[in-house]
Amino acid sequence: MQKILIHIFMSTSTQTAHESMYEAVLARLNVAAQLINLPETVTKVLRYPQKEVKVSLPVMMDDGKVQVFEGYRVVHSTHLGPSKGGIRYAMDVNDDEVRALAAWMTFKCAVADLPYGGAKGGIKCDPRKLSEGELERLSRAYAKAMKDVFGVNKDIPAPDMGTSAREMAWILDEYNKITGEDSPGVITGKPVGLGGSLGREAATGRGVMVNTLQALSKLNINPKQATAAVQGFGNVGSHAARLLAEQGIKIIAISDASGGYYDEKGIDIKDALNYIAKNNRILEGYPNATKITNEELLTLKCDVLVPAALQNVISPSIAENVKCKIIIEGANGPTYPEADPILNEKGIIVVPDILANSGGVTVSYFEWVQNKMGYYWTEEEVNQKHDEKMKVAFEKVWTNAKKYNTYMRIAAYITALEKIQLGIKMKGFF
């Protein structure tokens, strides 16, 4: 059975992730759809995003010249509720990537059992090269251009790569000015003082931690005797490393764009966090560990590997050399489709992105609920509700992996499809 599955998988993923990320999503969707005999009509509907918007954003730069940026928003599905998904600011933003990320949000929200469809947005820019004023004008221009796409019960953005609570506040403010109403729930990941939820900032990292504990328990590994390597030290990676360390897991390596940092005795994560706080948020020059490359980090012998940086980092050749027992995908799409069967053959458990990093959108959902109620929970309440939801989602995916004799990524798609197909069927076709 396992061999047959791999064969199906290989034959449907002839296009590689770097040719088309969206095709890679569809390849995985196909495999899951075949395994559960999903009606062709449902697969067909899910192959096409519901809405794609591309806008030009002219922005007055600090030097008095106007620069025009490309902005995107793709709504992949609204079958289970309003569409939900972040906005990223990065140079590689393009229609194919945003489309793929939007579809992942559809599956991610369904796996986490949230009443949402999926969307994603982005602006092609390098946020590190823009001043705060330029970033604010760009964010406001984006909000203005997307005013008819966004809506508290329609499409709800949030932070993603290159954005944070600061950008969400500008977008919210601009949107509210246009509509003339105060509608905090139209965007999540806001600053706490503006209707943001306690626990939202660390939520994706927290989800990574909960998924790690669940996976370790399935392998009967005591967290206090486990080791982990975390790739990426941004919002997801840094919170994940800190929370994993708090569970007694020894973090033997961390990394960011400046390279990897290794210590077999364990890196003091608090010390590394203090270092980046004083060093422009990067690990460059971190003195208390040995410098390694990002590739060396990915192939370290450890129990848990957390890719929490970019997409497409675990290529087939890296997969051949990976020496961990569990991969927890903190980033969206860190594993090439062609690497999946290799990791599976090696017996490595891969907790896929649409499950492993769903803690962020789960607490976004709690933020939206609190905004609608106008009543706010304590951080403990948020964390406890998050942990519960995450454990249920993990268990469902684990059970489906056993039931369909497949690996967790496909099981996560199956878990999502079982829910989405009901939504599509109940709403009907016309």
The count of other CB atoms within 10 Å of the CB of residue 246 is 11
By C-alpha distance, which of 113, 104, 106 is closest to 155?
106
Q: How far apart are the first and last CA of the chain?
A: 37
Q: Does 236 bind ligand GLU (CB under 6 A)?
A: no
What is the per-residue binding string for ligand GLU in 267-296, x denoting contact by CB under 6 A? ------------------------------
402 is known as an active-site residue: no
By C-alpha distance, which of 352, 330, 369, 353 is closest to 114?
369
The distance of closest approach from Cβ of residue 22 to ligand GLU in the complex, given in angstroms and rounded to an integer, is 16
Tell me, what amino acid is at 402?
A: K
Beta carbon nearer to ligand GLU, 341 or 360 = 360
Identified binder of ligand GLU from the candidate list 13, 139, 311, 364, rule CB under 6 A = 364
Distance, CA of 131 to CA of 153 (rounded, Å): 33
Q: Does 84 bind ligand GLU (CB under 6 A)?
A: yes
Identified binder of ligand GLU from the candidate list 110, 241, 269, 361, rule CB under 6 A = 361
The distance of closest approach from Cβ of residue 285 to ligand GLU in the complex, given in angstroms and rounded to an integer, is 30
Which position among 120, 124, 190, 396 bears the catalytic label? Answer: 120
Beta carbon nearer to ligand GLU, 260 or 330 = 330
Distance, CA of 424 to CA of 303 (rounded, Å): 40
Q: Which helix (H) or strand (E) holds 296?
A: helix 294-298
Residues in the interface with ligand GLU (CB under 6 A) total 13
By C-alpha distance, which of 114, 138, 112, 111 is closest to 124?
138
The distance of closest approach from Cβ of residue 91 to ligand GLU in the complex, given in angstroms and rounded to an integer, is 18
**Strand arrangement, sheet containing 117-124:** 51-60, 66-77, 117-124, 83-90, 155-159
The distance of closest approach from Cβ of residue 352 to ligand GLU in the complex, given in angstroms and rounded to an integer, is 13
Q: Does 122 bind ligand GLU (CB under 6 A)?
A: no
HSE toward the beta carbon, residue 343, CA cutoff 13 A: 31
- Binding segment for ligand GLU (CB under 6 A), chosen from 79-87, 123-131, 179-187, 308-316, is 79-87
What is the per-residue binding string for ligand GLU in 92-121, x denoting contact by CB under 6 A? ----------------x-------------
Residues 6 or more apart whose Cβ sits within 8 Å of residue 63: none
3-state SS, residue 301: strand
By C-alpha distance, which of 237, 190, 235 is closest to 368?
190
- Closest residue to ligand GLU using C-beta atoms: 86
Distance, CA of 148 to CA of 171 (rounded, Å): 13
Identified binder of ligand GLU from the candidate list 112, 134, 360, 377, rule CB under 6 A = 360
Q: Does 195 bind ligand GLU (CB under 6 A)?
A: no
Distance, CA of 54 to CA of 206 (rounded, Å): 33
Span 131-170, contacts to ligand GLU by CB under 6 A: 158, 160
Q: Does 328 bind ligand GLU (CB under 6 A)?
A: no
Beta carbon nearer to ligand GLU, 86 or 205 = 86
Q: Does 184 bind ligand GLU (CB under 6 A)?
A: no
Tell whether the torsion through CA atoms of 209, 369, 122 and 193 is positive or negative.
negative
Identified binder of ligand GLU from the candidate list 77, 188, 299, 400, rule CB under 6 A = 188
In angstroms, the Cα distances linking 187 to 13, 69, 86, 142, 221 are 35, 22, 9, 13, 39
- Binding segment for ligand GLU (CB under 6 A), chosen from 81-89, 122-130, 146-154, 413-421, is 81-89
- Binding segment for ligand GLU (CB under 6 A), chosen from 82-90, 225-233, 306-314, 422-430, is 82-90
Q: Rounded to the nearest 5 degrees, what angle is found at the Cα of 189, between the Cα atoms of 213 and 172? A: 170
Identified binder of ligand GLU from the candidate list 12, 312, 332, 406, rule CB under 6 A = 332
Q: Does 197 bind ligand GLU (CB under 6 A)?
A: no
Taking a C-beta distance cutoff of 8 angstroms, is the pair 197, 208 a contact?
A: no
Q: Does 329 bind ligand GLU (CB under 6 A)?
A: no
Sites of contact with ligand GLU (CB under 6 A): 84-86, 108, 158, 160, 188-189, 332, 357, 360-361, 364
Q: Which of the residues are catalytic? A: 120
